[in-house]
Structures are given as structure tokens and as C-alpha cells.
Amino acid sequence: MDKKLKGSLIIVGTGLQVGGQTTISAQAHIQNADIVFATVTDNVSKHWFDSLNENIVDLTQYYGSNKSRLITYKEMTDAIVNAVKQGKRVCAAFYGHPGVFVMSSHKAIEQLLAEGYQAKMEPGISAEDCLVADLGLDPGRVGYQAFEATQFLFYQRKFDENCILVLWQIGLIGDHTLKISKTDSYHLGLKVLTEELLDYYPADHEVIVYEAATISIFSARIDRMALIDLPKAELTAISTLVIPSLGALEFDVATLDKLNLTVDDVKK
């Protein structure tokens, strides 16, 4: 076999709380890899990673002020892919679910599979999973839809106000430069978003700014407010906006008819 093809990649998620929300399988991959590329977000995660493997490379080094995140993600992908091509057993660990809003993980897998290497991803606990638990919102009840906040604003997206609406990266809303990492310029985007949402929801409809706890001894941030007050919310890079459903589901009588059913047959 070509020596190059000996390399392999496993991508894992650490959950939002490293250690506590990391699967046993993900932890074993981190321990057994020749090299681990990891998003080390704080000292707690640094100690945790260092205790598992002595060859940790911190991927956050690729972020830079006034640097496009697209360049950063390409550099992360290249670092991971190059290590695999050197014949190493590589593990890349991203916080949350490694495939949710993470460009480098998907790109590295695509690239390596196309070149004949072994590469795969394991799931992790994402912000969305924590949100369901902390807010008690079951996606199965009225449905669930999620968008990246800036994309939701820039494009004409169809959504259902009778379904839960979740907007990721709300703290970066309106940023077209992809250069902002600390949130300070979301105010106009948030104001315009609120104006648009007011076409669908009443002004007093409750919305929630949510931040899951990243350390187990802390509580989640769950700030409930009326939609009209959303422009005053203080957001951070880890804020997610949750807009609960209006809850007014209407039967599709024509389809029920095709199924030989009436509203009375299926009403609970």
C-alpha cells in the first residue's frame, strides 16, 4: 500500500462541556491518536486535552483579527489534511457537534475521502441538544426549523411561525465580512431582523436568548423577552436565538380527505 494512504482521520465533538458531554468513544479517539487538532476554547479544555494526549495542536491559533474566517477554516483544513497525508492517525476535535456549523471538519473529510484515505465523523452534543434540554422544547411537538441568522436575513427564506424557529450565530447577525469574531456590530442586523419578525409574530411574543453552560457548575443563560424588546438584547458569540411557535396548527382538510379521514378522526 502507498505509505501516504496509511494516514486516517476521525473527527469528534466534545459537546459544549468538555469531558462531561464528550462521548466515551470520542475520548478514546483523542487518547489513541498520533496527533489531535482541537478547538481549545479555555484553560479547562486545555488541561483536559493535555491530560488525554501529549500531542495537541490548538486550532484556534488560526483565528486572527480582521482575518476572514474562510481563510482560517481553509488553514485548519490544510493542517488536518496534511497530518493525515504524513501517515498519521489524526483526530480532530471540535466543540459541540463537529459537523454543526463547522466548515473544516466537512472539508477535511471530503478531501481525504476523494484521495483514498479513511476519514469519518462521530456525532457530539451540540448547542441545539442542550437547548432542547434546558428550554424543554420538544422538536417533535410542533416541528423545528433552524437557520444561520445572517443567511436568514440576507436571503428570502420561507419559514413557519407555528414551528419553533432557531437562529444560530445571532451575535454575528448582519456581518457580511466574515471577519468579525467578537460581537459588537450586531445591533443594526438585530433591529432589522426584529422588524421582519414583527410581520409574523405579535410584539409581545416571547423570544429567548440562549447560551448553554460551558462549565457544569454554571447555569445556562436563558433570557426571555418580548419580541419588540429584542433589539435591546446583549448578545455574545455563543448566543442562539430561540423563537417559540405561535402554536396555531391548522388541519390540511384536502389531504385528510385524500386519506379518507376527517378532522374529527384525527383531532386529539
Ligand X SMILES: C[S@@+](CC[C@H](N)C(=O)[O-])C[C@H]1O[C@@H](n2cnc3c(N)ncnc32)[C@H](O)[C@@H]1O
- Residues belonging to the active site: 69, 73, 95
**CB count, 10 Å around CB of 175?**
18
Q: Is the Cβ–Cβ distance between 16 and 114 less than 8 Å?
A: no
Stretch that binds ligand X, among 186-194, 201-209, 222-230, 237-245 (CB under 6 A): 237-245
Q: Is the Cβ–Cβ distance between 109 and 9 less than 8 Å?
A: yes
Contact between 238 and ligand X per CB under 6 A? yes
Nearest to 154 by CA among 169, 141, 164: 169
Residue closest to ligand X, measured at CB: 96
CA 45 to chain centre: 18
Stretch that binds ligand X, among 97-105, 136-144, 188-196, 260-268 (CB under 6 A): 97-105
**CB count, 10 Å around CB of 181?**
16
59, three cell numbers:
486550532
Find the binding residues for ligand X in span 21-40 (CB under 6 A).
Answer: none
Q: Is the Cβ–Cβ distance between 57 and 88 less than 8 Å?
A: no
Question: With helix as H, strand as E and coil as C, how does 220-260 read?
Answer: CEEEEEEHHHHHHCCCCCCCEEEECCCCCCCCCHHHHHHCC
Cβ at position 121, least distance to ligand X in Å: 12
Nearer to ligand X, 85 or 194 (CB): 194
Cβ at position 169, least distance to ligand X in Å: 4
In 106-218, where do the E strands start and end? Answer: 118-121, 144-148, 164-168, 206-211
Helices (H) and strands (E) counted in the chain, each on its own, are: 10, 10
Contact between 16 and ligand X per CB under 6 A? yes
Stretch that binds ligand X, among 96-104, 107-115, 173-181, 260-268 (CB under 6 A): 96-104
Contact between 53 and ligand X per CB under 6 A? no
Find the binding residues for ligand X in span 198-217 (CB under 6 A).
Answer: 210-212, 214
Contact between 186 and ligand X per CB under 6 A? no
To 10 degrees, what angle do helices 24-32 and 43-52 make?
70
Site size toward ligand X, by CB under 6 A? 20
Nearer to ligand X, 30 or 102 (CB): 102
Find the binding residues for ligand X in span 120-179 (CB under 6 A).
Answer: 126-127, 168-169, 171
The footprint of ligand X (CB under 6 A) covers: 16, 94-97, 100-102, 126-127, 168-169, 171, 210-212, 214, 237-238, 240
